[in-house]
Structure 1
Amino acid sequence: MTTPILQFGTSRFLQAHADLFVSEAMEAGKALGPITVAQTSGDPARAGRIGALSAPEGFPVIIRGLEEGVPVERELRVRSVARSLSTARDWPEVTRIFVEEARVILSNTGDTGYALFEGDGIDGVPRSFPMKLLALLHARFRGGRMPLTILPCELVSRNGEVLRQVVVDLASRHTPNATFVSWLSERVIWANTLVDRIVSEPIEPAGAIAEPYAIWAIERHAGLTLPCEHPCIKVVDDLTPYERLKLHILNLGHTVLADRWLKGRRSEMECVKDIL
């Protein structure tokens, strides 16, 4: 089985967001196909999660909260992940999939996901995510394959543009090939995205509990390839209104509650209902 979607990161957020969307779209015949998930951290403590993500029976996501003012709780099974690998252990296979199968790349590598390491390079298994991405894109370019779409899901404003600049700068230093650098910056699609969904609790070894609300806003780009069609995925001309909605209404409300909790020296065991 080929996997046209290659995902970097095993976060609970992605499990209850992109992985769930693709799973539901596959059931409706509206997805590119299944996902290969690649762990980028190499954390041995997450070895159990890696195996559970691609179990044939899938993994659970429980949707819990208010939906149009009505309390809901339902359990869904996510079966979109066909393979789960580790870049530390399975780098040759990750490279093969990136070069031969992938059409869309997803990533959610955490708050420091774009950080670089001194002395890192494209030989062997690179340490940082941007250097890993550069090495894989270089392998795809050398293999004569078509460009692809990269959908970063890190909470960085203009994340596609930021990641592109980081990778292009690295390419200029580590792979000084003008044709390759041009291919990276002009033909690979680096989409700006904004994601949102509160994932409140993990389910071991894989799965999560999440709120009903979810959005994946993707800025329109010529040549853009989507992983699937889903009601929560919106292709928009400008992400700015969605960023303002998230920061000024959703996140601001969380910040105000946290401020009240800290100033009132409330117990960490209290919930929002107690604070209000």
Structure 2
Amino acid sequence: MTLLTKKIVPNLECQPERVIQFGEGNFMRAFVDWQLQQMNQQGLFNGSSVVVQPIEQGLKDLLDAQDDLYTVALQGLQNGEVIDSVEIMTSVSRVINPYTQWQAYKELASQDDLEIIVSNTTEAGIAYHKEDSLAAMPPKSFPAKLTVLLHERYKLGKKGFIIIPCELIDRNGDKLKEIVLQYATDWALGHDFVTWLETQNTFCCSLVDRIVPGFPRDTAQDFYDKLGYEDKVLVTAEPFMVWVIEGPQTIMTAFPLQKAGLNVIVTEDMTPYRERKVHLLNGPHTAMSILARLAGLDTVEAVMKDLDFRKYVDGLFTDELIPMIDLPISELVVFAEQVKERFLNPFANHQLSAIALNTVSKFVARLLPVFNQYVDTKNALPKHMTAALAALILSYRGDKIVPQDDENIIATFNKAWEDPETVVVTILGNVDLWGQDLTAISDLVAQVKKDIALLETAGARVLIKKC
């Protein structure tokens, strides 16, 4: 079968390079580059991305073999309709591997059309490596590579960039800027360069959301038969996407994502939107994964199609999560309905066992802040989250579900379960697990004991019905 190349895309128009993109993985190609394509199709951007491979081994060779073309397949539900579409992406101009093309990388600093820098180098990518130096070709870390590029830009007397990292860490733009400034100090790049960094560049924090399963290994041949060509870097993604960018509204002049009708929010404070995602998307995932597995369910879609568990999820959203988030209720209700639709994605096959990895830390990050706020606000226990907490403690006993977590955490639960009479007090009182003593919450110990007893005698389905 013919490989996807420019021969398959007639009259391909080359767009000027306007974006530097660190990261050539599935997510960035199905998220940022897909959005560039949508803007270009509407005549709003007229630009492409030049992609920098952040580590030595990557997808450059595969993309080069396809003239940097690839297919995005959107699969899922949107506004009640099944979406199953494919589109060839033409928004990547080329891929640079700085480990073999260091000079080509540095020369990006001279291109006046380049205005925007985006990145996704994994959560570990925005990190400081003391060993990195200005003389390295290239330095190891992404922030060090970026500092070199910015310094080259400064030396040429050119304007700075709008810099929008997409790594999934809190305050990613602030953290990236902090490390770049540290390298500027370490490498003695001078006060004038630091001033240029501060005044001529805009570092934005951002929050990204789109589920991108990636290359469809199990069904690749079916796709090839449907497309009529082979695409070794084809990427599947859900239709839903949102990009929250914390920064000035003026960045949309250079980067007109909103004008293209894309679900992009520019705000002075992204905190409520981060809470919205963590608590309204990730939180229900964590709660359902604990309880539904005890009831014998195995996927998110199965949970949402189960009448009892659907009522539990609806109640968790309506009664406990939405009232605790500082955004307009109407906006949160719309987002919650979008999340439920995403949970029903028939293409995703999202396994609860995968969501349940490291459940304790996920409960702490995704549910415990809302739990505490609910208790403080309502002076009562949130029934749905309390049931999930009880199920968590029972599941870590290991006889009903095999927990997947840090060995020290599993050892803590094993030790506590040696005395079933005191296990609830022991676990809830463990500050190392929760960051606080949960036994101090009025009535929580007693309710968790009742819920565990009901789980043991009647099962998870009966417990969630009581919620």
Q: Identify the residue that residue 194 of structure 2 maps to in structure 1.
A: 181
* In the alignment, structure 1 residue 167 sits paired with structure 2 residue 194: no
The CA distance in 2 between the partners of 1:11 and 1:53, in whole Å, is 15
| Equivalent pair of 1:99/1:136 in contact (CA under 8 Å) | no
Written as runs of structure 1 = structure 2, the 5 A alignment for 1:46-85 is 46-51=59-64, 54-55=67-68, 58-85=69-96
Secondary structure (helix, strand or coil) at the match of 2:236 reads strand
The CA distance in 1 between the partners of 2:40 and 2:16, in whole Å, is 14
Task: Tell me how far 1:94 sits from its aligned partner.
Answer: 1.6
| Equivalent pair of 1:15/1:207 in contact (CA under 8 Å) | no
**Which amino acid letter does the alignment assign opposite residue 116 of structure 1?**
Y
TM-score normalised according to structure 2 size:
0.54
| Equivalent pair of 1:39/1:50 in contact (CA under 8 Å) | no
Written as runs of structure 1 = structure 2, the 5 A alignment for 1:181-260 is 181-203=194-216, 205-221=232-248, 224=251, 226-229=254-257, 230=260, 231-260=262-291
* In the alignment, structure 1 residue 29 sits paired with structure 2 residue 43: yes
Task: Tell me how far 1:7 sits from its aligned partner.
Answer: 0.3
Of residues 128, 131, 143, the one that matches 1:119 is: 131
Q: Identify the residue that residue 32 of structure 2 maps to in structure 1.
A: 18
Compare 192-201 and 203-212 and name the one that shifted more: 203-212
The CA distance in 1 between the partners of 2:139 and 2:155, in whole Å, is 18
Task: Tell me how far 1:257 sits from its aligned partner.
Answer: 3.9
Task: Tell me how far 1:223 sits from its aligned partner.
Answer: 5.3
Compare 180-189 and 14-23 and name the one that shifted more: 180-189
- Measured at CA, do residues 219 and 273 of structure 1 come closer, stay the same or move farther in structure 2, by a change above 3 Å? closer
The CA distance in 2 between the partners of 1:195 and 1:52, in whole Å, is 29
| Equivalent pair of 2:72/2:88 in contact (CA under 8 Å) | yes
Q: Which runs of 5+ in 2 are unaligned?
A: 1-14, 217-230, 307-467
**Which protein is richer in helix relative to its size?**
2
The CA distance in 2 between the partners of 1:265 and 1:202, in whole Å, is 31
- Measured at CA, do residues 53 and 174 of structure 1 come closer, stay the same or move farther in structure 2, by a change above 3 Å? farther
* In the alignment, structure 1 residue 103 sits paired with structure 2 residue 115: yes
- Measured at CA, do residues 158 and 15 of structure 1 come closer, stay the same or move farther in structure 2, by a change above 3 Å? same
**Which amino acid letter does the alignment assign opposite residue 83 of structure 2?**
V
The CA distance in 2 between the partners of 1:14 and 1:136, in whole Å, is 20
Question: What whole-Å deviation, never above 9, does each CA across 1:74-127 have from its counterpart, x for those lacking one?
Answer: 112211001112111112112112332421001000010112334211212111
Of residues 22, 40, 55, the one that matches 1:41 is: 55
Q: Identify the residue that residue 20 of structure 2 maps to in structure 1.
A: 6
Of residues 93, 101, 119, the one that matches 1:90 is: 101
Percent identity over the alignment is: 28
CA RMSD of aligned residues (A): 2.3
TM-score normalised according to structure 1 size:
0.89
Question: What whole-Å deviation, never above 9, does each CA across 1:228-271 have from its counterpart, x for those lacking one?
Answer: 4232222223212211111001111222344347x64979xx53
| Equivalent pair of 1:54/1:79 in contact (CA under 8 Å) | no
Could you say which structure has the larger radius of gyration?
2
Question: What whole-Å deviation, never above 9, does each CA across 1:31-57 have from its counterpart, x for those lacking one?
Answer: 15111111011115x3444425743xx
Secondary structure (helix, strand or coil) at the match of 1:72 reads strand
| Equivalent pair of 2:108/2:149 in contact (CA under 8 Å) | no
Report the number of matched residues.
270
